[in-house]
Amino acid sequence: MLRCKLSVVPRWAALSAMAAGSILMAGCATDEDKTANWSPNKIYSEAKDESNSGAYDKAVPLYEKLEGRAAGTALAQQAQIEKAYAQYKSGEKAAAIATLDRFMKLHPASPAYDYALYMRGVVNFNDDLGMFSSFTRQDLSERDQKAAKESFESFKELVTRFPESRYTPDARARMNYIVNSLAQYEVHVARYYYSRGAYLAAINRAQIAIADYREVPAVEEALYIMVRSYDALGLTDLRDDAQRVLTTNYPNSTYLAKGFKAKDDPWWKLW
């Protein structure tokens, strides 16, 4: 007869096993998807509530779930576009751009396409600089221009393709700000070269601002930098020509009388 010997498990070992099992069960409970039995509308409602309360980091995963749960529907498109906004507000700008690019690629005929273009411009706009920077005193002209140029292109496409869009007026205003800031960037560099005696380099950068960005406030200073640089190089004829253009276009310019400002205000404070 075959006999089976039963081993006795020590009490402490049994308690340890039970504890380990409890931990595993707790972990499983933590990972449980609370939205499993929710309808798409409920998920959307919860995501909106999180966004409206400022909890954008909590709204993003809900919008992602809704994208999958309601795939192929208008609600999924809405979730995707609102997820981009939540990512932007959470400081995840690269993720927001990726979401918007994907949205525009997948839904080129969407009625929200103009908003996607607008949001793409806003994400790249650097709205913590320039006119919005009362604490840091940093102007957009003093920062990397890549994002500003990408922002401009998004707004330009919006204004061109959707002139009647509700977002177009604000896009135009932001485009004006970007153009002025890009011009001021060239002047900022020109002034830097001038202050270090690199007069030819200063002239070249000032000419870029004048040629590429017409009728913007930065042109006045660009002309003045050219006057001073030509004078420093002893090129009196060119100096006089630049000064004539300056006085003709800016008869009330204070640059010729007072020179450079001790501390330049951002361009937007000059309007």
Assign residue 266 the CATH number of its domain: 1.25.40.10
CATH number for the domain harbouring residue 96: 1.25.40
Is 58 a member of any domain? Answer: yes
Last residue of a domain, one of 52, 75, 102: 102
Last residue of a domain, one of 53, 82, 102: 102
- The C-alpha atoms of residue 86 and residue 71 are separated, in whole angstroms, by 19
| 239 — pLDDT class (breaks 50, 70, 90) | very high
* pLDDT, tens digit, 9 for 90 and up, residues 161-201: 999 999 999 999 999 999 988 898 899 999 999 999 999 99
What pLDDT does residue 16 have?
52
Count: domains in the chain: 2
Is 119 a member of any domain? Answer: no
Is 250 a member of any domain? Answer: yes
Are the C-beta atoms of 218 and 186 separated by less than 8 Å? yes
Is 256 a member of any domain? Answer: yes
* Strands in 141-251 per DSSP E: none
Is 202 a member of any domain? Answer: yes
Q: What is the pTM of this model?
A: 0.70
Last residue of a domain, one of 82, 102, 122: 102
Q: How much is the average pLDDT of 17-33?
A: 54
Q: State the chain's mean pLDDT as an integer.
A: 83
- Which residue's structure tokens are 């393709």? 161
150 vs 133, higher pLDDT: 150
Q: In the chain, pLDDT over 70 holds for what percent of residues?
A: 78
Is 24 a member of any domain? Answer: no
43-47, 100-104, 214-218, range with the lowest pLDDT: 214-218
| 82 — pLDDT class (breaks 50, 70, 90) | very high
| 160 — pLDDT class (breaks 50, 70, 90) | very high
Structure tokens at 144: 């990397």
Are the C-beta atoms of 142 and 188 separated by less than 8 Å? yes
In 3D, which of 105, 123, 115, 50 has the Cα closest to residue 78? 115
Q: How much is the average pLDDT of 233-256?
A: 94
Question: Count of CB atoms within 10 A of residue 42's CB?
Answer: 13
Is 92 a member of any domain? Answer: yes
What pLDDT does residue 30 have?
53
Q: How much is the average pLDDT of 121-128?
A: 79
pLDDT score of 135 more than 50: no
Question: What domain range is 52 assigned to?
Answer: 39-102
Is 193 a member of any domain? Answer: yes
